[in-house]
Amino acid sequence: MLNWDMWYHQSAGYWFNSWGLSYPWVGAVVIFWIFAFGACIGSFLNVCIWRIPRGESLSKASSHCTVCGNPIRWYDNIPVISYLVLRGKCRSCRTPYSASYFMVELCCGVLVALLVLKTGLLRQDAAVIPGRMLMIFFGVTCAMTDLRFRVVPDKLTYTGMVLALLTAWIFPGAWSSGSRWEALWFSFAGGALPGGVLAIFALTGKLICRKNIMGWGDIKFTVLCGMLLGLPGAVFALFCGSFFGTYWGIAITRKLDAALPFVPFITLGTWFWMFFDIPILNFAVSLMMK
């Protein structure tokens, strides 16, 4: 089994103390600002979720109400807070906003804050944080576009893949490597292996069943998961996604062959992996040693 002492005493883990997070009041302030950072990114992701599937520019037009067209003032665009103050309605026309805007901002803020806490408390290398933050952000965005529009835009997955390679190059410690080229290879292989297997599965299924049994957007998103989390993380997320999706199809929709968006379920699997990777690996190793 993995040695828990290794995680608690490795030198890479002492960043938690150097940030002052071991002191309650300092830790609370730092975590609040980390939450605020995540919520701000979530606010931008809401724009991406709305505009990218529609082919709209992210930079040309300022934030505005999609009903009355009036621009949203800066004090009405504060993540999480503005939604609560305005009770989820446009200040100008009083049209209700979707609760998903609030949930995306809140979810990004909470998950990023919990990620930093978990990584520090388990004395893991801080180098894993940037890649897993990207997984949170791209997971939320792709899951929402899949839920709303039943599409996972290439602009999102391809951008995520480029950022995954860049992150591996800048933070090779996330891959337990001192070599940037080695970390780059680990990231590439982590996405290419599950992506290749799923591509063969999809093509074979189309030949046999004469229909698409898996969308290419789902496959590309799985590649992105592997490039950010590694091969074990991608395999676990895919397994969890299949389990959650099957359960939802049988227990909720009562249709085994229901057409369900798959990316939201894979995203749930990535969250489980990011927060419980060590116990999961310990359990897997214990099974193999029996």
What pLDDT, in 10s, does the model give residues 81-137? 988 888 888 887 888 888 899 999 999 999 999 999 898 888 888 899 999 999 999
Taking the C-alpha atoms of residue 287 and residue 279, their distance in angstroms, rounded to an integer, is 12
The closest of 34, 106, 101 to 63, measured between CA atoms, is: 101
Average predicted confidence (pLDDT) for the chain: 85
Rounded to two decimals, the pTM is 0.88
pLDDT band of 5, cuts 50, 70, 90? very low
Taking the C-alpha atoms of residue 115 and residue 22, their distance in angstroms, rounded to an integer, is 15
State residue 1's pLDDT score: 42
State residue 289's pLDDT score: 76
The closest of 258, 221, 257 to 238, measured between CA atoms, is: 221
State residue 78's pLDDT score: 87
pLDDT at 23 over 80: no
State residue 4's pLDDT score: 38
State residue 257's pLDDT score: 53
pLDDT at 9 over 60: no
pLDDT at 145 over 80: yes
Burial of 197 (0-12, 13-18, 19+ CB in 10 A): middle
State residue 253's pLDDT score: 57
**Can you state the angle between helices 180-209 and 231-247, rounded to 10 degrees?**
30
The answer to which of 5-19, 118-132, 213-227 has the lowest mean pLDDT is 5-19
Taking the C-alpha atoms of residue 128 and residue 132, their distance in angstroms, rounded to an integer, is 6
pLDDT at 259 over 60: yes
pLDDT at 63 over 90: no
Radius of gyration of the chain (CA): 20
Residue found by looking up tokens 């809401």 in the block: 46
pLDDT band of 251, cuts 50, 70, 90? low
Quickly list H helices, the chain: 4-9, 15-18, 24-51, 81-85, 99-121, 128-149, 154-170, 180-209, 216-229, 231-247, 263-289
Residue found by looking up tokens 């938690």 in the block: 16
pLDDT at 42 over 90: yes
State residue 254's pLDDT score: 60
pLDDT at 249 over 90: no
State residue 20's pLDDT score: 66
**Can you state the angle between helices 216-229 and 263-289, rounded to 10 degrees?**
50
State residue 57's pLDDT score: 82
State residue 6's pLDDT score: 43
% pLDDT > 70, the chain: 89
- 64 beta partners: 71
